[in-house]
């Protein structure tokens, strides 16, 4: 794709102090749309994500996605000199991202009250387990705990079984996306209301809770407590995973007209024209009957054959993709959702593309993920430090 215009966030300066997932995912998203993201890491090990999951040439391949388009400065924030350098960076920044436990930055003299005095336009994203206020404020919190408190874990898995996680750190990612929305909203407010910045306070459990749909209204109105329902979607029918000869196919036949097309496709016109099944309420009442009828049709067929028939009928359906399926799918490739990237260590790797897709100013991958401290000297020189000063700081282990 030929880019003839700057990225949408070109010129935006972001300082990222977070580590692992939630804060850095927000920084990643801003970086993909052109922001200059300077990531502060502790000298020595750096962000622990560098060593999470599968490692190649000494670094996690996850790191290659999470930290692309960023610059890395290794800076000891626990030292007074490191804190002074951080202040100089933040004084020139538009956005500060952090996901430490509440009070950590204040202990380093880097709380918003003091930072905003030297940079009134600063927008500060703070992601934590339970938020910056409230009785749980000081408790440690990870995404998995936020998923449980937010109501998600109660709905995962099979009825009566141990609640399961969805397989990824969805709580952290939801918090990051809410934080990104907050940053962009605060930047717009700053632009139209006199240049004043503000704090965005995102709690992991609240980010999960925000996507829990009708969970609380149903409890409030009816005392209904939703429980795990396996692959089905309670209250909406038919929508489930159905067995085939070589796997499962997901079918969402819950629209009124879609349901009729589905029943015609599976040879059950009698159900498609049944007045009692004309709307969702009627179908929910007879969901077991419908699931049995649909699976009787899918069971003797392959996934491919089922999908071909349903695609021709205009019924939403899909198979359960593995990583291999995604990597080889032509639609992913056609939409630039699988990109080939060369790492700083010199090997090539496929990574996810950029979303959302802005047609006028699309996001891009401009640089691969940095090694620890790759940009320390360059960033310090931008702040006015001379080479001998940088050498002195490095000797004192303030920077690396």
Residue at 30 is within a domain: yes
Residue at 367 is within a domain: yes
- What is the sign of the dihedral through the CA atoms of 253, 254, 258 and 263? positive
State the Rg of the chain over Cα: 25
Which ranges in the chain belong to alpha helices (H)?
22-32, 63-66, 80-91, 104-107, 112-118, 143-149, 170-192, 204-209, 215-222, 256-265, 269-272, 280-285, 287-298, 303-313, 323-328, 330-334, 376-382, 387-395
pLDDT digits (tens, 9 = 90+) for 171-229: 999 999 999 999 999 999 999 999 999 999 999 999 999 999 999 999 999 999 999 99
313 lies in the same domain as 356: no
Confidence band (pLDDT; 50, 70, 90) for 3?
very low
Burial of 348 (0-12, 13-18, 19+ CB in 10 A): exposed
Tell me the C-alpha to C-alpha distance, in Å, between residue 276 and each of 208, 272, 281, 290. Answer: 36, 10, 9, 12
CB atoms within 10 A of CB 368: 18
57 lies in the same domain as 108: yes
Total of domains in the chain? 2
Domain that holds residue 349: 13-211+333-395
pLDDT cut 70: percent of the chain above it: 99
Length reported for the chain: 400
201 lies in the same domain as 247: no
Average pLDDT over residues 16-29: 96
pLDDT digits (tens, 9 = 90+) for 125-169: 999 999 999 999 999 999 999 999 999 999 999 999 999 988 999
Whole-number pLDDT of residue 233: 86
73 lies in the same domain as 162: yes
Residue at 230 is within a domain: no
Average pLDDT over residues 296-313: 98
pLDDT digits (tens, 9 = 90+) for 222-245: 999 999 998 988 999 999 999 999
Which CATH number belongs to the domain containing residue 29 in this structure? 3.40.50.10540
Whole-number pLDDT of residue 6: 86
Whole-number pLDDT of residue 4: 57
Domain boundary, last residue among 321, 349, 381: 321
The answer to whether residue 172 is catalytic is yes
Residue at 298 is within a domain: yes
Tell me the CB-side half-sphere exposure of residue 352, using CA atoms within 13 A.
15
Nearest-angstrom CA–CA distance, 335 and 333 = 5
Which is the catalytic residue, given 47, 76, 94, 172?
172
205 lies in the same domain as 302: no
Full-model pTM = 0.94
Residue at 352 is within a domain: yes
């Amino acid at each position: 794709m030929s880019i003839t215009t700057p990225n949408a966030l070109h010129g935006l300066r972001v300082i990222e102090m977070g580590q692992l997932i939630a804060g850095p995912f927000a920084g990643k998203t801003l970086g993909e749309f052109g922001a200059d993201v300077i990531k502060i890491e502790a000298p020595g090990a750096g962000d622990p994500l560098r060593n999470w999951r599968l490692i190649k040439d000494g670094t996690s391949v996850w790191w290659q996605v999470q930290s692309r388009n960023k610059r890395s400065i290794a800076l000891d924030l626990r030292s007074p000199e490191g804190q002074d350098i951080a202040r100089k960076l933040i004084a020139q920044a538009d956005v500060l991202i952090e996901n430490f436990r509440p009070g950590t930055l204040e202990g380093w003299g880097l709380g918003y009250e003091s930072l905003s005095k030297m940079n009134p336009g600063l927008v500060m994203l703070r992601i934590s387990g339970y938020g910056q206020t409230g009785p749980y404020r000081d408790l440690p919190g990870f995404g998995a705990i936020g998923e449980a408190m937010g109501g998600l874990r109660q709905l995962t898995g099979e009825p009566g079984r141990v609640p399961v996680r969805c397989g990824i750190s969805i709580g952290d990612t939801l918090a990051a996306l809410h934080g990104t929305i907050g940053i962009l909203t605060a930047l717009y407010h700053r632009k139209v209301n006199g240049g004043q910045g503000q704090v965005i306070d995102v709690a992991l459990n609240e980010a999960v809770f925000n996507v829990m749909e009708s969970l609380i209204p149903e409890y409030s109105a009816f005392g209904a407590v939703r429980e795990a329902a396996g692959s089905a979607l309670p209250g909406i029918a038919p929508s489930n995973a159905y067995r085939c000869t070589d796997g499962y196919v997901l079918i969402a036949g819950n629209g009124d007209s879609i349901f009729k097309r589905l029943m015609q496709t599976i040879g059950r016109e009698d159900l498609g024209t049944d007045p009692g099944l004309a709307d969702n309420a009627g179908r929910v009442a007879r969901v077991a009957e419908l699931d049995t009828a649909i699976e009787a049709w899918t069971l003797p067929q392959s996934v491919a054959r089922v999908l071909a028939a349903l695609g021709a009928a205009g019924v939403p359906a899909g198979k359960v993709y593995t990583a291999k399926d995604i990597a080889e799918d032509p639609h992913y490739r056609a939409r630039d959702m699988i990109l080939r990237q060369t790492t700083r260590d010199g090997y090539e790797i496929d990574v996810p593309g950029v979303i959302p897709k802005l047609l006028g100013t699309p996001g891009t991958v401009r640089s691969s993920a940095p090694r620890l401290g790759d940009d320390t000297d360059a960033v310090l020189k931008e702040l006015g430090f001379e080479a001998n000063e940088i050498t002195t700081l490095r000797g004192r282990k303030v920077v690396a």
